[in-house]
Amino acid sequence: MTAPLIIPGRGGPRMSRRGFLAAMGAVGLSACSDLGADRSPDLGGDSSLRVLNWPDYIDADDDGDVYYSGGTLDGLVAEGLTVDYVAGYEDNVGGFQIVLDEAVDVSPPGFDIVVPTNWRAAQMIANGWAEPLPIELIPNHVNIDPAFLTNAWDRGCRYQMPWQAGITGIAYDPALTERPLTSVNDLFDPAFAGRVGFIGEMREAVGLVMLANGDDPSRPTRSAAEAGLDRIVEAAGTGQVGAFTFNEFAPLLAEGRLVAAMAWSGDVALLQNERPDIEFVIPDEGAIQWFDTMVIPAGSANIAAAGRFMDYVYDPANAARITEWVQYISPVMGVRQVLAGSGGDATALADNPVLFPDDETRNRLFTWGGLPEADEQALDDAYAALIEQS
Amino acid sequence: MLLPILVALVAVTSVTGGFLVQDAARSSTNSSGPSLIGLQDMFASVAEANAAATAAHLATAVSGQEDRVNRNLYLDALGRANDQVALVAADLGPDDPAQAPLRRVARSLAAYSGDVEAARLANLNGLPEADDRLGQALSVVEFDIGPAVAEATTLTRDRFDRDADQGRLVVLVAIAVTVVTILAMIGMQYGLALRTRRLLNPFLVLATLAMIAVLAVLVRGEWVRTTAIDDARFGGLNAIVNTAELQSRTFTIQSELALALVDDGSSSTARRERFDTIEQLALEADSLVEFSVADADSARERAAGEALRVRWDRYRSDVDAVVTAASAGNATEATALVRGPGLSSFNGVNTAIESVLSDNRTQFIDGVEVADSAVELNPWLCLLLSVAAGLLVLVGIQRRLGDYR
């Protein structure tokens, strides 16, 4: 047997921090009061908040109204929480500029929750632009899927709570490709010249091409990333790339202007409601996994309200409603069981491997591992310049 | 001449004691305190690397393919452990006796990672020695790294305790001398009043007040420092140790589970022994979890403690399911449970433990920083007040002689 490692400890009488505070107070030593205080900061208002999220990322009615009766935001109103929900986070460059302009550089920030992608959230946390989560107000924090708890930049999710996760893989129209696509290399097939879409997020596009090159984007090096980028630059130069897109790949595929594209799994699922013939594949080499995550910008005046919002959307029943609508991977434990018990289309979603990847699939998903900030900035700049030229 | 001598004694003892205490507080804040925390973190990283390595080994043995997720967890944890060794070494300083066991940890980590790589390659190639090489790696953790970390922790803890006590005797002497000086000043004031029929010598009164201020500075500094350090020691550090022990048991359970399933050659008795070990560890962990919950003394810590309990219960349930399946001879199901929900709930409880550790760490650091700031200005205040008192005494005495003339 393997004995547990024991770190020597010592017993003895102890005074709790509360006891210490009382003792300090008894002799008027207020300078030490922070030691005994409850470390929770002033959590501010708890009845209203502003949320900045990506478009089409919460349940809405047929008219696109996110405040519809019976929806998630309506449920929050019933709980006494007023939510000003802004679906204006378009991408991690322009969208993040909104965060910088309205959520970080002003005090108090313009939004109480923003939902950047994981790598942007990591930057926010590293730069001190994020508040610690008010864990004491989020008992449903225990419902975070442990797969999201082990990121080195925020182990245990103490500064962010994932909103939805997704896969960047390949979507294609089999009627136009006239063959199944199974590899990232298929996007470089000259037969599809000018009709292939590459995703506008550098880490996802470069990451996928790195996989095709045999490199691991979860442990990237600058040279491997540059090799991936060079290949995209070359493809763009030869006219292989028809468009660099964010979620506009969906209408372009639907209209037949693209035959194949690097694509986000949830957006493809929504597209398949109209075009069930569009295929989404995780390439043989693997696909890129990412997640968008709720962050409270530093200085928020409504941290308590943000905590209540997070707790509400982490209730499995509420999270299942969102998943059923957005069809991305839910980071909330228990959602699958709720969907399975809901009947109808929801039950079918519970068996969808793109929403609930099995172990074999998970082993083929790679999350961008990150490079030093200067290297990432250089790659971001180069990719942005490429998109601008195209 | 008695009074000036006494005041000089106050100056010497209070300033000396003040600097000794200040040095000790800085050592706690910058060296022994962070080193204690760093050792716990490093130990946790090694244990996590070990659990991930055994989980990856198990997955590869079953599927013949690399378990990339656990492999990355192993590499990340090993990288953190190596970084933490370097950080602790820097915090301790070059001459600290804990450097010797720390060097052994560094050497053993290199040997450990070599054994893990050898086991991995053998496993990927289906070679029979794969399990033996993994066993060697686990032995390095158990017999080399574990004891070396424990020794380094003991030495550092001793140094932390010495830091906590350093200068106390001199400060107590200073307090005693100051009290005597104050009494002597009051006595002299009384004598002067009798002989000169003056009610008060204002310079002596001011000198007495300055000495009382020195006394207040000394008493307050020592009291706040002692209380804050005790809070850090018995609150923060003991909670850290408790949580680290919980983490140790959790990692060991995970490794034991993997070994029980991967080691096809072991007898059913040997496997039974492993399961008994797991049960014993789980029982101990139950108590440690309850201690963590009970020990929380803020809303945030209570929330972290409750989350730990929920995550632990999930993991415990998964462990029980694995043991039940394996005991019933259903190795396939047991293996699937370990690689799937078992690993997931293990990651859940592990990060929940880290959250509790983080809160404990904050409490510990708060304590040593309060102790540091409580004595930061003391030697200078004592020096200033003593010099002032000395001058006032001299002027006061001159006045008395002038009155006689």
Query: Distance between CA B351 and CA A226 in Å, rounded?
Result: 34
Contact B56, B259 (CB under 8 A): no
Query: Distance between CA A43 and CA B383 in Å, rounded?
Result: 44
If phi > 0 it is left, if psi is from -120 to 50 it is alpha, else beta; for residue B33 that is alpha
**Burial readout A79-112 (b: 16 or more C-beta within 10 A, e: otherwise):** eebebebebebbbbbebbebbeebbbeeeebbbb
Rounded to whole angstroms, the maximal C-alpha distance in chain A is: 84
Type of residue found at B88: V
Residue A324, both tokens: 């059923």
**Confidence class for position B266, pLDDT limits 50, 70, 90:** low
Instruction: Count Cα atoms within 13 angstroms, Cβ side, for B369.
Output: 14
For B:248-267, CB contacts with A below 8 A are 248-249, 251-252, 255-256, 259
Q: List, as one string, the DSSP characters of B316-373.
A: HHHHHHHHHHHHTT-HHHHHHHIIIIIHHHHHHHHHHHHHHHHHHHHHHHHHHHHHHH
Which of A35, A219, A359 comes nearest B340 by C-beta?
A359
Q: Write the CA distances from B170 to A316, A363, B65, B309, B384, integer angstroms.
A: 62, 63, 66, 47, 18
Query: Distance between CA B34 and CA B289 in Å, rounded?
Result: 25
Rounded to the nearest angstrom, the minimum Cα separation between A134 and chain B is 8
Residue A8, both tokens: 């020597």
Q: Which CATH number belongs to the domain containing residue A370 in this structure?
A: 3.40.190.10
Residue A71, both tokens: 């929806």
Contact residues for A173 (Cβ-Cβ < 8 A; gap 6+): A253, A256, A259, A260, A275, A277, A278, A279
Phi, psi at B287, each rounded to 5°? -65, -40
For B:325-364, CB contacts with A below 8 A are 339-340, 344-348, 350-352, 354-355, 358-359, 362-363
Q: List, as one string, the DSSP characters of A182-240.
A: -SGGGGG-GGGTT-EEEES-HHHHHHHHHHHTT--TTS--HHHHHHHHHHHHHHHHTT-
Query: Distance between CA B39 and CA B108 in Å, rounded?
Result: 15
A300 shares a domain with A154: yes
Query: Distance between CA B33 and CA B17 in Å, rounded?
Result: 21
pLDDT in tens, B64-85: 888 888 888 899 899 999 999 9
Q: How many other C-beta atoms lie within 10 A of the C-beta of residue B363?
A: 23
The confidence score (pLDDT) of residue A75 equals 94
Q: How many other C-beta atoms lie within 10 A of the C-beta of residue A133?
A: 25
pLDDT in tens, B170-200: 989 999 999 999 999 898 888 877 877 666 7
Contact A366, A289 (CB under 8 A): yes
Higher pLDDT: A309 or B399? It is A309
The confidence score (pLDDT) of residue A9 equals 34
Rounded to the nearest angstrom, the minimum Cα separation between B11 and chain A is 25
Contact A252, A243 (CB under 8 A): yes
A207 shares a domain with A179: yes
Rounded to the nearest angstrom, the minimum Cα separation between A98 and chain B is 31
Query: Distance between CA A229 and CA A383 in Å, rounded?
Result: 8
A129 shares a domain with A150: yes
**Confidence class for position B263, pLDDT limits 50, 70, 90:** low
| Structural domain that includes position A184 | 166-289+366-389
Query: A140 lies in a domain?
Result: yes
Query: A11 lies in a domain?
Result: no
A329 shares a domain with A278: no
A282 shares a domain with A305: no
Contact A330, A74 (CB under 8 A): no
Query: A5 lies in a domain?
Result: no
Where chain A has pLDDT below 70, the residues are 1-41, 95, 99-107
A161 shares a domain with A177: no
Contact A76, A312 (CB under 8 A): yes
Query: A26 lies in a domain?
Result: no
Contact B53, B134 (CB under 8 A): yes
Higher pLDDT: B367 or B381? It is B381
A380 shares a domain with A250: yes
pLDDT in tens, B104-151: 999 999 999 999 999 999 999 988 888 889 889 988 988 899 889 989
* Residues of chain A with C-beta less than 8 angstroms from the C-beta of B73: 150
Rounded to the nearest angstrom, the minimum Cα separation between B5 and chain A is 32
State CA B386 to chain mean position distance: 37
| Structural domain that includes position B255 | 2-404
The confidence score (pLDDT) of residue B70 equals 84
Regarding an ipTM greater than 0.85, the answer is no
Which of B138, B238, B245 comes nearest A14 by C-beta?
B238
Rounded to the nearest angstrom, the minimum Cα separation between A119 and chain B is 17
The confidence score (pLDDT) of residue A204 equals 95
Task: Please tell me which residue of chain A has the smallest CA distance to B46.
Answer: A5
A311 shares a domain with A233: no
- The residues facing B164 across adjacent strands are none
The confidence score (pLDDT) of residue A15 equals 34
How many domains in chain B?
A: 1
Residue B38, both tokens: 């760093």
Query: A359 lies in a domain?
Result: no
Higher pLDDT: B196 or B102? It is B102
Rounded mean pLDDT of chain B?
Answer: 86
Query: Distance between CA A56 and CA A74 in Å, rounded?
Result: 16
Instruction: Count Cα atoms within 13 angstroms, Cβ side, for A193.
Output: 7
Query: Distance between CA A142 and CA A318 in Å, rounded?
Result: 15
Assess B367–A contact: CB distance below 8 Å, yes or no.
Answer: yes
A270 shares a domain with A192: yes
How many domains in chain A?
A: 2
- Of B61, B90, B53, the closest CA to residue B251 belongs to B53
Query: Distance between CA B39 and CA B335 in Å, rounded?
Result: 33
Contact A104, A119 (CB under 8 A): no
* Residues of chain B with C-beta less than 8 angstroms from the C-beta of A22: none
Which of B69, B153, B227 comes nearest A363 by C-beta?
B69
Type of residue found at A301: A
Cβ contact A1–B277 (<8 Å): yes
For B:160-219, CB contacts with A below 8 A are none
Query: Distance between CA B326 and CA B323 in Å, rounded?
Result: 5
The confidence score (pLDDT) of residue A28 equals 34
The confidence score (pLDDT) of residue A208 equals 97
A123 shares a domain with A60: yes
DSSP for residue A117: B
- Of B276, B285, B278, B201, the closest CA to residue B243 belongs to B285
Report the helix count and the strand count for chain B, using DSSP H and E. Answer: 14, 0
A247 shares a domain with A376: yes
pLDDT in tens, A142-173: 999 998 998 888 989 999 999 999 999 999 99
Q: List, as one string, the DSSP characters of A128-175.
A: T-BPPP-GGG-GGGGGB-GGGT--GGGTT-SSEEEEEEEEEEEEE-HH
- Strands A82-86, A113-114: pairing is unpaired
Residue B29, both tokens: 């804040």
Report whether the peptide linkage leading into residue A251 is cis, meaning its omega lies within 30 degrees of zero: no
A317 shares a domain with A275: no
Cβ contact B311–A142 (<8 Å): yes
Burial classification of residue A385, based on how many CB atoms lie within 10 Å of its CB (0-12 exposed, 13-18 middle, 19 or more buried): exposed
Query: Distance between CA B46 and CA B23 in Å, rounded?
Result: 33
